[in-house]
Structure 1
Amino acid sequence: MKFETIVTCAVTGAGDTTGKSPHVPVTPRQIADAAIEAAKAGAAIAHLHVRDPETGQGSRDVALFKEAVDLVRASDTDVVINLTAGMGGDWAPSADDPAMPGPGTDMIGPDARLAHVRECMPEICSLDCGTLNFSDTDSIYISTPPTLRRMAKLVQEWGVKPELEVFELGHIRFAKAMVEEGLIDAPPMFQLCLGIPWGADQTVETMAAMKAQLPDGASWASFGVSRMQMPMAAAAVALGGNVRVGLEDNIYLDRGVLATNGQLVTRAVEIIERMGGRALSPQEARNRLNLRGADT
């Protein structure tokens, strides 16, 4: 089997990692530089969040996204831009009244969740296909069917490809419903997200089970978190999928050795090549995924 693999680098995320590694990019300039570094190392796609430059915390500020995206586009490095659309779904009940929002809640509607996508018009944006307990706290991530259908319809109208992020089998079931309803253009693009508390476990068996539920003709990738990032990358390649690495999901190159995004991409490419495959270029990724800008 010849493995031709699309490598995505998720360069920063929104998690509390900035105090754990100096390599996690924070400012729009740092995030853009990280995307460029990842592309030069062999990533076809850069998955971008932005952070508040003052606090380092995740942000959904449209101006920060625009600045980061413009900096990437102004560079001489080709890379497919994939913007997160996962902000604005955080709910934490108040300790005094569980019916009311407490600290950490950030809930907005579907149009507002896509404001930065409309402004920046990337080739891809993520679409988190369901609600999930995202930690051991009372905080949950809420993404309801009406919200998802509205978001899918909007990005379809704009010509932006949704990356259907699925954290368990029920998410795949709903994503397939949107495909059948005509809200997702062919080929649908799935990201099997493994190891997130409390979604699907990061094992080969889980990945294979989720892959088996995908619709015919779907493009898919998968990732694991922390020390399972590279084992899950290898498993995805072996199962015929694409891979995602990057500091959003794992900050270490080896035990006790902090990584850069470029180093993680380099290692993923080495795994692909040692398995007899190759990493696809950004233009090859566009063609395979039928993105805006694909060769016709």
Structure 2
Amino acid sequence: MAQPRPVIITCAITGAIHTPSMSPHLPATSDAIVASAIKAAEAGAAILHLHARNDETGQPDQSVEGFGRIVPRIAAATDAVLNLTTGGSPYMTVEERVRPAAHFAPQLASLNMGSMNMGLFPMLRRHPDLPGWEAQHLEGSRDLVFRNSYTDIAYVLEACRAGGTRFEFECYDTAHLYNLAHFADQGAVDPPFFVQTVFGLLGGIGAHVDDITHMRRTAERLFGDDLVWSALGAGAHQMRVAATVASAGGHVRVGLEDSLWAGPGRLSTSNADQVRTAIALLDGLGMRAATPEEAAAMLHLAPRRQAEGAA
């Protein structure tokens, strides 16, 4: 009898898009991020995608010190693969964004594969009374280009080369897949390619099933057997995209970075709850959650380095 297919569940713990006043369940301090990440791993996430935040304001914090408050503690408490962002916040420079990954040399880091408009301002309709920096964080995105030039991408690749970090390639539209193919053709990145296709964020591709199919077919044509395909749906699209992608042979990402919601008008209470919902989806499809060891093998990751658990 055929065994259930192992599906990698990535959980994105806090991100840099949502702000603390949007949900009391969004981890917005170091202690909350650590606790939420550990519970997500215990619930079945094989990969933890990590951002840091300022403990006083909840703003995105891409300093080595900010990540130093979370990375060693999570590494000590779980065997999950730690995936440090190099996307940071779209308001940051690439030099700021890459510092934590270059310092901690994690097994995995995210890498955005192209520039894009990043429209966060529609969330102001749901959250019209956000205080201080939170409102400006959304309003400012009307005139925001999230820069990820070819020079920027090459900078991240070079900065992380010595640490042996591999990448989750975040692709928000079809052109980003072609950008990855360009770097692959130049020999700048090695297979297998862990491609995270992102659906439903204003400025990127939509979340219709046709959009998902188009991105999958393009990725398969460009990378063939070297592709490890995963996807996330932003906001209300989260679990529908997860079910669609898993059904089509892919892996899935959930977490409060991507969606604060558990259903119409109902806030998700934790990252672990979203992981458990994804596992229930997989179970209904005759699949199962991959272990961290299985995920590391699929992605050809090096063993966790000493620096990743160092203060």
The normalised TM-score by structure 2 is 0.85
Deviation larger for 208-217 or 39-48: 208-217
Amino acid at match of 1:195: G
Q: CA RMSD in A?
A: 1.6
Structure 2 regions of 5+ residues with no counterpart? 122-141, 305-311
Amino acid at match of 1:86: G
- Does 2:282 match 1:275? no
Residue of structure 2 in register with 1:120 after alignment: 104
Residue of structure 1 in register with 2:156 after alignment: 151
Aligned residues: 276
- Does 2:69 match 1:67? yes
Are the aligned partners of 2:18 and 2:257 in contact in 1 as well (CA < 8 Å)?
A: no
Q: How does 1:169-248 map to 2 (within 5 A)?
A: 169-214=174-219, 215-216=223-224, 217-248=226-257
Are the aligned partners of 1:156 and 1:185 in contact in 2 as well (CA < 8 Å)?
A: no
Question: Aligned equivalents of 1:231 and 1:270: distance in 2?
Answer: 13
Amino acid at match of 1:293: P
Question: Aligned equivalents of 2:45 and 2:13: distance in 1?
Answer: 11
Q: Percent identity?
A: 32
Question: Aligned equivalents of 1:277 and 1:82: distance in 2?
Answer: 23
Residue of structure 2 in register with 1:261 after alignment: 271
Question: Aligned equivalents of 2:235 and 2:179: distance in 1?
Answer: 28
Residue of structure 2 in register with 1:97 after alignment: none
Question: Aligned equivalents of 1:16 and 1:276: distance in 2?
Answer: 33
Question: Aligned equivalents of 1:19 and 1:257: distance in 2?
Answer: 15
Are the aligned partners of 2:48 and 2:83 in contact in 1 as well (CA < 8 Å)?
A: yes
- Does 2:295 match 1:293? no
Structure 1 regions of 5+ residues with no counterpart? 91-105
Are the aligned partners of 1:88 and 1:109 in contact in 2 as well (CA < 8 Å)?
A: no
Q: SS of 2:35's equivalent?
A: helix
Question: Aligned equivalents of 2:154 and 2:302: distance in 1?
Answer: 21
One of 22, 28, 47 as aligned partner of 1:20: 22
One of 157, 160, 165 as aligned partner of 2:170: 165
Alpha-carbon offset, residue 153 of structure 1: 3.0
Q: How does 1:37-52 map to 2 (within 5 A)?
A: 37-52=39-54
Higher relative contact order (CA 8 A, sep 6+): 2
**Which protein is richer in helix relative to its size?**
2
Residue of structure 2 in register with 1:86 after alignment: 87
Question: Aligned equivalents of 2:296 and 2:281: distance in 1?
Answer: 22
Are the aligned partners of 1:156 and 1:184 in contact in 2 as well (CA < 8 Å)?
A: no
Are the aligned partners of 2:105 and 2:160 in contact in 1 as well (CA < 8 Å)?
A: no
Alpha-carbon offset, residue 250 of structure 1: 0.7
Question: Aligned equivalents of 1:125 and 1:6: distance in 2?
Answer: 16
Question: Aligned equivalents of 1:246 and 1:283: distance in 2?
Answer: 21
Are the aligned partners of 1:156 and 1:183 in contact in 2 as well (CA < 8 Å)?
A: no
Question: Aligned equivalents of 1:258 and 1:86: distance in 2?
Answer: 25
Q: SS of 1:287's equivalent?
A: helix
Are the aligned partners of 1:16 and 1:57 in contact in 2 as well (CA < 8 Å)?
A: no
